[in-house]
Structure 1
Amino acid sequence: MLPPRAYVFIGLNGVRVLSIIACLLVFSSSIVTMVHDVEAVNNFVAAGRTNSTSADGLLNCDYIADSTVPNQPAGAFWAVLNRLLIIFQVIVLILSEIGWPLSFFNRFFPVLGSDFGLGALGVVQCLIGAAILSHHVDDFALVSAFFLFSIGCLNILLGLIFREGAKGKRSLTSWREQAKGVLPPPVQRAASSASTLYGAAFSEKGAGNESSERFAGFGFGRQGEKKAGLKGFLISKPIESLPRYAPSNRARASTPAGV
């Protein structure tokens, strides 16, 4: 029987794998759609050069036949640019799901970094899916976009449930971080203080003769007295004292010798 956090870990990573697969499908379908659009535009331009009746019918259409390119000024440019932007966004989402480079996302794209949950990721996936589904595309692009939109809705739901801790719970290094929390706090503090002590001892050992002389002991002889005198300390002779059960000097002096 696995602990509950294990099921959460497996479930979140399963959704992550599905998210990466959906992004890869959209990436592939966008390239295929862009190639088909370019071929359709080339056929449209070739048909426009003729003076046939069918060519006039093609020129009056709102969209170029067998493509997602609108029949308007610079329509092919904006259609291709739209696909390129979708491909770029999908690549960014794949890298954020992999978690590389994490420092780049934490600095330049914080909503896709480790400090945010899965809600922002799901919103971006839904926007990309809706942008593709709003056009007449082939079956491959249709299925890929619908799959990405569904995963985006699931990520939004997981973001509402786990909030900013979702990426931490699915992180591969979270098990190591949680294993550190098994020891009670006093033991952790003692271990940290012991490691600090050993580190300081080793650093002082390799610091050179100066540090060793600084912490060396001189005992209670002349060397110790000399060093203490240089630092302004005076070593006085300790006052003689006797234990409580020993008789005092006055009592011994007043007692007769023959007694």
Structure 2
Amino acid sequence: MLPPRAYIFIGLNGIRILSIISMLLVFASSIFVLVHDVEAVNRFMKDASESDMIDCDYIENSTVPNQPAGVFWAVVNRLLIIFQIIVLILSEVGWPLAFFDRFFPVLGSHFGLGPLGIFQGLIGATILSHHVDDFTLVAAFFLFALGCVNMLLGLVFREGAKQRRSVLSWRAEAKGVISSAQDLRPAFVRPQSGFMANVFHKGGEADNEKTGGYGFSYAGEKKAGLKGFLISKPLETLPRYAPTPRTTEAPRAGSPEPRFKSSNYAI
């Protein structure tokens, strides 16, 4: 059974894939509508009479309003939708992420999915507010639905949504929980730390300088003696806190003096 974060990762990336698909459909439908509107305007300008231009509100079989500069604003509207869709697709793919973090931070890595859902909802509502063909209608409705889902995910996960669905962060967490956590233990007790190795390495270098690279063996002691170094042994003695031994009986005549006069020690 997978951990909960795995299901969150799979679910968020599934929503991301559906979001990219919906925006690709809107991109294709916008180009289709733009070409269809231009053709409809050309037919209207050739065949329409003065009465037709006065009575109709929209040019026949198009989304272009019959008003001054109506064709211009209709084309600009479609071009802006196409440009916005391209930017949103790049933000969902995550490239170039440094550009979004610096120049468009609401679509960068430090914000959640809420702003993305708002943009998708606005584009979908703009398209659905006009009379369009069935393909464009389905694509816009699909985009609007995904925008609502992204807004909901933005409220739930807030700014951590993009971090949770990131493939790079998933690989980093998959290496282990302990490796990503900060080790608060001292340096000399960390198994992965090189503190003790450095200490022994430095000490070994100093000893090797004295013993000629033979370590603590007999050959090393002999080599150090030839160079004038004296390796002394510690004197055998009792610790400072050991009590002074005392005797309770006088030794017999002719018997050797015992090493310890008595087994009783003064306390």
TM-score (norm 1): 0.71
Amino acid aligned to 1:182 = I
Gaps of 5+ in 1: 202-214, 221-240, 246-259
Query: Is 1:186 aligned with 2:172?
Result: no
Task: Summarize deviations over 1:53-72 as a string: whole Å, max 9, x none.
Answer: xx523442111111111111
Kept in 1, the 8 Å contact 2:53–2:66? The answer is no
Alignment of 1:95-106 (within 5 A): 95-106=90-101
1:156 aligns with 2:118: no
Q: 1:110/1:56 Cα in 2 relative to 1: closer, same or farther (>3 Å)?
A: same
> Could you say what secondary structure the match of 1:182 adopts?
helix
Cross-structure match for 2:38: 38
The match for 2:17 is 17
The one-letter code matched in structure 2 to 1:117 is G
Distance 1:151 1:182, change over 3 A: same
SS state at 1:62 partner: coil
2:114 aligns with 119
CA deviation after TM superposition for structure 1 residue 193, in Å: 4.9
The answer to whether the 8 Å contact 1:58/1:65 transfers is no
Match of 2:86 among 88, 91, 100: 91
The answer to whether the 8 Å contact 2:26/2:140 transfers is: yes
Of 57, 63, 68 in structure 1, the residue corresponding to residue 58 of structure 2 is 63
Q: Which secondary structure state, in structure 2, belongs to the residue aligned with residue 186 of structure 1?
A: coil
Describe how 1:1-259 pairs up with structure 2 within 5 A: 1-48=1-48, 56-178=51-173, 179-183=175-179, 185-186=182-183, 190=190, 193-194=193-194
* 1:10 shift after superposition: 0.5
Deviation of 1:192 after TM superposition, in Å, equals 7.2
Q: CA deviation at 1:244?
A: 5.8
* Structure 1 residue 187 displacement after superposition: 8.7
Change in CA separation of 1:7 and 1:40 when aligned onto 2, cut-off 3 Å? same
Identity, % of aligned positions: 63
Distance of 2:79 and 2:103 partners within structure 1: 21
Flag the 1:216–1:76 CA change in 2: closer, same or farther, 3 A: farther
Q: Partners of 2:78 and 2:192 in 1: how far apart?
A: 54
- Report the CA distance between 1:177 and its aligned residue: 2.1
Q: Which has the higher helix share?
A: 1
CA contact (8 A) 1:30 1:83 kept: yes
Q: Please state how far the C-alpha of 1:43 moved relative to its aligned partner.
A: 1.1
Distance in 2 (CA, whole Å) between partners of 1:57 and 1:242 is 121
Distance of 2:107 and 2:191 partners within structure 1: 36
Change in CA separation of 1:242 and 1:21 when aligned onto 2, cut-off 3 Å = closer
Residue aligning to 2:216: none
Q: State how far apart, in whole Å, the 2-side matches of 1:128 and 1:40 are.
A: 23
Matched residue type, 2:15: V
SS at structure 1 position matched to 2:63: coil
Alignment CA distance shift 1:217-1:11 (3 Å): same
In the alignment, the residues of structure 2 paired with residue 21 and residue 149 of structure 1 have an alpha-carbon distance, to the nearest angstrom, of: 13
Aligned-residue offset at 1:7: 0.5
Can you list the C-alpha shifts for 1:169-225, whole angstroms capped at 9, x where unaligned? 101112222135334643997477539x99xx9xxxxxxxxxxxxx999968xxxxx
8 Å contact 1:112–1:120 — kept in the other structure?
yes
Q: Which residue of 2 aligns with 1:223?
A: none
